[in-house]
Amino acid sequence: MGDEDLIRACAAGDVRALEQLHVRHARAAYAFALRITGVAADAEDAVAEAFYELWRQAGRFDCRSRARTWLLGIVRHKALDALRRRQPAQPLDDPSGDDPPADLPDPNPGPYEQLLAQQQTRMLLDCLERLPVAQREALHLALVEALRLRDIAQIQGVPENTVATRIHHAKRKLRDCVAATLGLKNPGVPSDSMA
Amino acid sequence: MSSTTPPDPDDPLRPASPQEAAWLARSKAQLQQAPLTFDVAAHWQSIAARLPASPAAAATSTSPLPQRPHRLRLLSSRWSAWLGGWALGAACAAGVIAAVGLHPPGTAPASVQPLSAASAVRSDQVLLQVVFADNARIGEIRALLAPLSVQVVAGPGSLGVWRIAVPAAQARAAQRALAASALVESVNPVR
């Protein structure tokens, strides 16, 4: 049974269909929620809330997007709510993060070979956590979920150009952060602030 | 010679070079392989416990008591009520005498069984103390507890307190699921 059929079954009150959706998507939803909140308990709660919301709203799914995209959008809302409760004063986006990227070649085209050789998962996760939330979300959805630009734009509720810009900044910041962690020389022109 | 493959306009990553593409692929693999502490089964239980009780479970516990036949109501005249009252009083007195005689004060009568059998909590279990709302029906409570793999250890007590044992690995999820239910007034671990 496809995801869309399972959602229709949920709308008809079939709990087993919801459980099937949970088996298929909960883990990915949790990884995404954890990327946003940074706290395991908040991520678990956000995903539980999202599936409960899916159950309540299943009748409103219009199949214009994939079920996973729809679910991740709900997860995002719940995770951001949890993040705002925990960090009410923290801005969720880098104010400069939505500026269109300058149409210039990357002044620091490397050191990708060294990153490939030395990058550890823990330092990658630590650097990812330092990105502004919106950039972190966009990069996760592009890199880990392998979603297309239009799907990410739908989840984040912004134009595709904004998503492209967020990912552009996120990649550069991530690369520079990992390079700095590894103590690699010649970082080149400093990238955007990590704040 | 550089690759002539045109960039995919819908690819959000848009690597600027083969080296960047390789680094992104490596980063993706590392993120996907990073350990995730997430118990899918326990998480599902916390969701299932919040879903409305099934119609079948609700029906078995909330069915109204059958109405007495009309002809039996005709016997509730004044004199038969007096006679019935006398008989009831005599029966109660006999019962008290029998209870005291068979079970001296200080001992629990064998015929009185608690709703749940008291049993020891295993070392791999956590004991939770739960107070359900006054209007919670047995069928609803049963449906709430069913997905949580709980063992009713004691209760309900005179103040409506239940004690349930849950597997330690699922204790947190169970406590959250119960706390989120409108049927539950309070749930706390017993230390």
Helix or strand (DSSP H, E) at B171: helix B171-180
Task: Please choose, from the candidates B165, B155, B154, B175, the residue with its C-alpha nearest in 3D space to the C-alpha of residue B49.
Answer: B175
Higher pLDDT pick, A93 / B6: B6
Q: Which residue has the higher pLDDT, A113 or A14?
A: A14
- Record: contact B26-A119, CB cut-off 8 A: yes
- Residue B5: pLDDT above 70? no
pLDDT tier at A127, thresholds 50, 70, 90: very high
Task: Mutate one of A47, A49, A112, A174 to test the B interface: name it (highest B CB count within 10 A).
Answer: A112
- pLDDT band at B154; cut points 50, 70, 90: confident
Rounded to the nearest angstrom, the minimum Cα separation between B71 and chain A is 44
Q: What is the pLDDT of residues A52-101, one digit of tens each?
A: 999 999 988 887 778 899 999 999 999 999 988 887 666 655 555 455 55
Q: Is B55 in the A-facing interface, judged by CB distances under 8 Å?
A: no
d(C-alpha B172, C-alpha A58), whole Å: 28
> By percentage, how much of chain B surpasses pLDDT 70?
58
Tokens describing residue A120: 């550890």
| Band of residue B106 on the pLDDT scale cut at 50, 70, 90 | low
Question: What is the pLDDT averaged over residues B55-72?
Answer: 41
ipTM of this complex: 0.84
* Integer Cα distance of B123 and B119 in angstroms: 13
B83, with CB counted inside 10 A (0-12, 13-18, 19+), is: exposed
Looking at the DSSP assignment, which residues form a beta bridge with residue A64? none
Is A30 an 8 Å CB contact of chain B? yes
Q: What is the pTM of this model?
A: 0.61
Of A95-104, B6-15, B180-189, the range with the lowest mean pLDDT is A95-104
Coil vs helix vs strand at B188: strand
